[in-house]
Chain A
Amino acid sequence: MAESATQETPPPGFTGMISDWSSDQTTFKGAGWGKPMMWLFILSDIFIFGIFLLGYMSARLATPDPWPDAAEVFALTMFGVQIPLLLIAIMTFILISSSGTMALAVKYGYERNRKVCGRLILATAVLGAIFVGMQAFEWTILIMDGVRPWANPWGSAQFGATFFLITGFHGTHVTIGVIALLYMYRKVMRGDLDDGRPGAITGRKGRWEMVEILGLYWHFVDLVWVFIFAFFYLW
């Protein structure tokens, strides 16, 4: 590996950044290749979600029709009282909690605590699955209310198109994440990461860094939800 060529500790801070980028070697010192690759993927995904949200902003700014009020559209009636955004609020808390369990899973992964790490990964997967389930429920309610990508009963027609695109794309990310988490749960519990057992898909040897890399993806999914929650549901 290239890391062996850079034994001495590189300087920190801004000077370190300059020397990293101009070192004519691996730029991301001490980070292996998996983590920077996941960060690069996340960077590209930031742009995808970024242009979706920008497209949503453009559509919302450009339409002369009133934009449907999210607080009313996503309200749920519980015990005879209409609570605005109830389902979305619960979904937000579930996704934040899944991010918390994932962060702890990564921590216990560093400590090579196989059992606790595996259980926390499973908990994360379960919370993610609950999130997707609630999203399916939310979609069902809206579709039954008559929301379509081209029309809705409350106002600007672009609402449905942006809603289904943005939340659908995010939900796809969560679903892929849940599948990856379940796969990682099996690997962790079987001891693949301790034994360096080759994976079934890529044949790469199991490393504990994999938990952290998957964690980065999962936290990113939560991060995107923070922005969707603010821009789509609260604005």
Chain B
Amino acid sequence: MSDHDEHATMPLKSYYWVWGWLFVLSVCSYIVDISPIPQMLQWILITFFMLAKAGLIMAVFMHMQWERLSLVMMVLVPPGALLFALFVFGIEGFHIENVRETFFVNEFFSRTEGR
């Protein structure tokens, strides 16, 4: 447990600091959501605030900044596969939506019009 001693010396103030920033970032993302700015900008800002919050929680609250790089990499590298899945499912999702628009939605409308 000798490597834990350095955590204990982290001043109380920095916990409150992180806690405060988590509040501020949450409020920011809420304000962005209800304010009338372009949707794309909203999405970018919300994602940015989300990643900032996740980083703060993992680095300080989960003590990752004091862990050895081997442990950090074990946790952070494998989820990169999810980014690939995000890419592939993204393409697929748009494609299926297109197919449905072309073959289902139009067909449905032409059928209801004919009735």
Which residues of A approach B to under 8 Å, CB–CB? 10, 12-14, 16-17, 20-21, 27-31, 35-36, 39-40, 42-43, 46-47, 50-51, 54, 57-58, 60-64, 71, 84-85, 89, 92-93, 96-97, 99-100, 102-104, 106-107, 110-111, 208-209, 212, 215-216, 219-220, 222-223, 226-227, 229-231, 233-235
Contacts and interface: CB of A to CB of B under 8 A. Distances in A.
Nearest to A231: B50
A31 to B, nearest CB: 6
Interface in B97-115: 97, 100-101, 104-105
B85 A51 contact: yes
A106 B11 CA distance: 13
B49 A62 contact: no
What is the interface of chain A mostly: helix, strand, loop, or mixed?
A: helix
A43 B90 contact: no
Contact of A14 (B5, B69, B86): B69
Contacts of A64: 97, 100-101, 104-105
Contact of A50 (B23, B57, B73, B82): B82
A92 B2 CA distance: 35
B39 to A, nearest CB: 9
Contacts of A27: 70
A28 B3 CA distance: 12
Contact of A54 (B12, B18, B85): B85
A13 B89 CA distance: 35
Interface of B: 1-5, 7-8, 10, 12, 15-16, 18-19, 22-23, 26, 29-30, 32-34, 42-43, 46-47, 49-50, 53-54, 57-58, 60-63, 67-71, 73-75, 78-79, 82, 85-86, 89-90, 92-94, 96-97, 100-101, 104-105
B79 A43 contact: yes
A54 B69 contact: no
Contact of A107 (B7, B69, B92): B7
Contacts of B63: 106, 212
Given A39-B75, A71-B34, A216 B15 contact: no
A51 B64 CA distance: 24
Contacts of B23: 93, 96
B34 A54 contact: no
A71 B70 contact: no
